[in-house]
Structure 1
C-alpha cells in the first residue's frame, strides 16, 4: 500500500477518532440551553450525557467481537452511518425523549466505530507506522475532549444547541466517503461462530449497573445497583467459562502482556478521571477559584496529555512498552504526592505545575499500552481485544467516579491514588517483548 493511500485511510479514521470524544464533552456547555428550550429540568437533561456514557461503555466489547465475526470494515462503516443518523436525529429533536433516543443511537455508532477503527489500523499499517498513528490518535482524541466545550460554546453562541449535533454531519459524511473508497477489504479471517447473546446481555447489565452506581445520589439506589452489578458480573464469568465462543475470551488474560495492558489502562484512567473530577472541586473549596479558571487549568492538563501521547507513539519503538509504562506510573506517584503537598501548603500554582506533569505522565504511555494489547493477540481477534481494552478504560473512569462519591478529604484521596499508581509500577513489570512476539507468531 502506498504512503498517500495510508495517510488517507488514517485521516478518514481520525475524523471519527476526534468526533466521538468531542461529542462526549461538547454537550456539557449546552445542557442549560437544552433544558430551557425543551422545558425540562437540568437533572432530566443530564440523561443526554449519561445515556451516551453508558451505551459507549456497554457496547464497545460487543462491537469489537462483532467486528471479529462480520468484518472490521463493515462494522466501522455501520458505526459511521449510525453516528450520522444519531447526530441528525439529535440536532432535529423536538423533545427530550427523541433527543435521548437519538443520542443513544449516536453512542451505538461511536461504540461500533471505535474498536473496529483500531482493528483496521492493525491490519492495514506496518508496526512502526501503527505505533506513530496510535500516538496521533491519542493526540486527536485528547484534543477532541479539550476542544469540546470551546467548540460547543462557539456553536451555541453563533447558532443554538442544535448546531453541536449537526456539525458532525459534513465531517462524518466525508469520513464515510473516504472510508468506502480507500479502506481496502482486508484479508480478515472472519470467525464463523455465533455471537454469545447471553454473555453480551450479562456484560451489558454489569457495566450499566456500575455506570448507574456512579450516578446514584441515595444510599438505597447505590446499594441496589451494587447488588445488580455483583450478581450480573458473577453470572457473566460463569457464562463465559462455558460458552463455546465467549464475548470476552478469558483465556486471553493468560498472556501477561495482554493482562498488563488492560490493567494499566484501567489504573491510568482511574487516576486521570479522579484528577478531572477533583481538581475543580479542590480549586473552588480551598482556593476560591472559579469553575471557568479551573476549566482552563484542566485544558492545560488535557493538552499536555495529548501532546505527550503523540510523543509516546514516536518513541515507543526505541524505548518499548515496559519502560514507558513504568515511567508513566512513577510520574503519577510523584504527581499525586505533589497534589497532597500543594494542599498542605495551600499552593494552587504548585498544584497547577503537577497537573501539567500529570498529563505528560498519563499520555506518554498510552500508545505503548495500545501496541501491547494489539501485539499480544492474533490479528483476527483485534476487534475483541480493542473492545476489551476500551471496557477496561471505561471501568477505570467509572470506578474513580464511585470512589469519589463515597470518600471525602482531598489529601487522602490523592494519597490513595499515589498508592494505586505504585501498583501500576508493579503491573508494568509484566510487559515483556519476547512474550508479545511469541504470541504474535503462534
Structure 2
C-alpha cells in the first residue's frame, strides 16, 4: 500500500483505516508521552543527578524548544518527501535520542539528549496528523481525527501514571528506554500499512535561515525567563526579539519559506492557533506544578502522583472521539468555548491540593472536570485548524498548530516559576512551593478562560460543516 494512488481513499472501520490511526497514535503518542511522563520523574532526577530547578526546567524545555522550533520544518519536509517517510525518520531519531536520555550521567547530557528528542519529535508529530488528513476520505477525517485525538490524548495523560510506576519500582531512566520497543512497532506498522501522501507543490528549498532564527527566538526567550535576574538574561531577551523580527522578515522575503505567512490570513486559522497557545500553556503549566505539588507538599510518591491524574485518561479514552463527532455535527464554536472554561473550573478546584490532602475530596473532582473539558475541546480544535487550511498544506498546518501548542507550554513552564517567585532548590521546599503552586494555578485558570472567550468571539461553526 503506497503512493498517491491511494491518497484520500482510506475509510474508517477498514483494516487500512485502523492501521493508519494506530501508526499515527503510536508515533505521536510516544512523543506526547514523553511530554508528560518527565514531570513525575523531575524530583527524582533532581536528586539523582543533583540538578537545580533551572536544570529541571531545561530537562522539560530543552525538548519543547527543539520541538517547537523545528516542527514547521517537519511538516514541510513531510509535504515534500512524503508524510509517512518523514514520520518514520522522526520515529527512529526519537528512539535513538531516548536511548541517550536513558544513559545520561549528568544533567547536561540529559538536557542535550532531550533537545535531540525534540528534533525527532518535530519530524514525527506533524506527520502523524498529516498522514490521517492525506489518507482518509474527506467525510471520514473528523472521525479519524477524533480517534487520533482521544487515543493520543491517553498517551499524554497516562504519562504520569506510567512514569510514576517506573520511577518508583525501577528507575527514572526507564521512562526513556521504554520508547525503544514502541518505536520499533510504530515503524513496522507505518511501513507495512500506511499509504504515502505528499504535496506535489511543496517547497523544494530548505529554509535554514528560518529554522535558525525560530530556534534563536524561542531559545532566547526561554533562557531569559528561566535565568531571570542572571547577567546573560537581558542579552538573551534582546536576541529573542531580534531573531523573532528577523524570522518574520526572512519568511516574508524567502520565495519558498518553511512558514507561509499567508496561511494566517484566514481568521479562523489564526484564532484557533491563538487559542491553542493559551490553552496549551495552561495545560502544560498545570501538569508541571500539580505533579510537583503532590510530591513536594502532599507527600505523594511518584506512582501515587501519577495515579492522581488517571481520570484525565478515562475522560480522553471515552469522550474525545465524541467531542470530534459533536464538533462535526454542530460546529466547533461551542466545544472550543465550553471546553477551556470547563478546564478552567477544574483547575480552580485543584487549589484544594495542599499538605493535608484527601484524594477523593481535593484531587479527583478537579482532574475529572479538567479531563471533561479537555476531551470536549481537543478534536474540534484540531479539525478546525486543518479545515481552515487547504488540503495540500495539511503538513504545514499541522506543524504550525503543534508548534504553537509546544511554544505555549514551553513559555508557560519557563515563565511561571519566575512569575510566582520560585527558583533555586525551592522545588524541594514544601512551604515555598505550596505558595507558588497556588499562584500558578490561578494564572493557568485565567489563561483557560481567555482561551474560551477567544473561541466564542472568533470561531464560526461553518468551518467544519461546510466540508
**TM-score, normalisation: structure 1:** 0.84
- 1:68 aligned residue (52, 76, 79): 79
CA deviation digits over 1:152-172, x for unaligned, max 9? Answer: 454466655554433322221
Q: Per the alignment, do residues 194 and 332 of structure 1 end up closer, same or farther by CA in structure 2, a change over 3 Å counting?
A: same
Please tell me whether residue 146 in structure 1 is matched to residue 173 in structure 2: no
What residue is the counterpart of 2:399 in the other structure?
387
Q: How does 1:105-184 map to 2 (within 5 A)?
A: 105-155=116-166, 160-184=171-195
After TM superposition, the structure 1 stretch with the greater mean CA deviation from structure 2, 175-184 or 303-312, is 303-312
TM-aligned CA deviation for residue 19 of structure 1 = 1.4
Q: Per the alignment, do residues 317 and 354 of structure 1 end up closer, same or farther by CA in structure 2, a change over 3 Å counting?
A: same
8 Å Cα contact 2:344-2:370 kept in structure 1: no
What residue is the counterpart of 1:42 in the other structure?
51
What residue is the counterpart of 1:266 in the other structure?
277
- Stretches of structure 2 lacking an aligned partner (at least 5 in a row): 1-9, 422-434
TM-aligned CA deviation for residue 137 of structure 1 = 2.8
After TM superposition, the structure 1 stretch with the greater mean CA deviation from structure 2, 47-56 or 63-72, is 47-56
TM-aligned CA deviation for residue 126 of structure 1 = 2.9
8 Å Cα contact 1:25-1:149 kept in structure 2: yes
What residue is the counterpart of 1:290 in the other structure?
299
TM-aligned CA deviation for residue 283 of structure 1 = 6.6
Q: Per the alignment, do residues 87 and 404 of structure 1 end up closer, same or farther by CA in structure 2, a change over 3 Å counting?
A: closer
8 Å Cα contact 1:128-1:317 kept in structure 2: no
> Take 1:144 and 1:291, find their aligned partners in 2: how far apart are those partners?
22
After TM superposition, the structure 1 stretch with the greater mean CA deviation from structure 2, 398-407 or 409-418, is 409-418
- 1:378 aligned residue (379, 390, 393): 390
Please tell me whether residue 188 in structure 1 is matched to residue 199 in structure 2: yes
After TM superposition, the structure 1 stretch with the greater mean CA deviation from structure 2, 173-182 or 407-416, is 407-416
Helix, strand or coil at the partner of 2:458: coil
8 Å Cα contact 2:387-2:463 kept in structure 1: no
> Take 1:319 and 1:16, find their aligned partners in 2: how far apart are those partners?
30
8 Å Cα contact 2:161-2:306 kept in structure 1: no
CA deviation digits over 1:345-392, x for unaligned, max 9? Answer: x99736752442122213311111110111111122111111110111
CA deviation digits over 1:43-67, x for unaligned, max 9? Answer: 4974554432322222112211222
What residue is the counterpart of 1:357 in the other structure?
369
After TM superposition, the structure 1 stretch with the greater mean CA deviation from structure 2, 163-172 or 178-187, is 163-172
8 Å Cα contact 1:32-1:42 kept in structure 2: no
After TM superposition, the structure 1 stretch with the greater mean CA deviation from structure 2, 254-263 or 154-163, is 154-163
- 1:275 aligned residue (286, 291, 295): 286
> Take 2:114 and 2:148, find their aligned partners in 1: how far apart are those partners?
24
Please tell me whether residue 52 in structure 1 is matched to residue 53 in structure 2: no
> Take 2:350 and 2:40, find their aligned partners in 1: how far apart are those partners?
28
What residue is the counterpart of 1:423 in the other structure?
450
TM-aligned CA deviation for residue 407 of structure 1 = 3.7
> Take 1:98 and 1:399, find their aligned partners in 2: how far apart are those partners?
22
**TM-score, normalisation: structure 2:** 0.80
> Take 2:247 and 2:294, find their aligned partners in 1: how far apart are those partners?
41
TM-aligned CA deviation for residue 333 of structure 1 = 5.1
> Take 1:190 and 1:295, find their aligned partners in 2: how far apart are those partners?
45
TM-aligned CA deviation for residue 181 of structure 1 = 1.5
8 Å Cα contact 1:266-1:393 kept in structure 2: yes
- 1:369 aligned residue (374, 381, 389): 381
- 1:399 aligned residue (392, 396, 411): 411
CA deviation digits over 1:205-238, x for unaligned, max 9? Answer: 1112233344325354443332222221122122
TM-aligned CA deviation for residue 339 of structure 1 = 6.0
- Stretches of structure 1 lacking an aligned partner (at least 5 in a row): none
Q: Per the alignment, do residues 187 and 388 of structure 1 end up closer, same or farther by CA in structure 2, a change over 3 Å counting?
A: closer
Count of residue pairs brought into register by the alignment: 433
> Take 2:456 and 2:311, find their aligned partners in 1: how far apart are those partners?
27
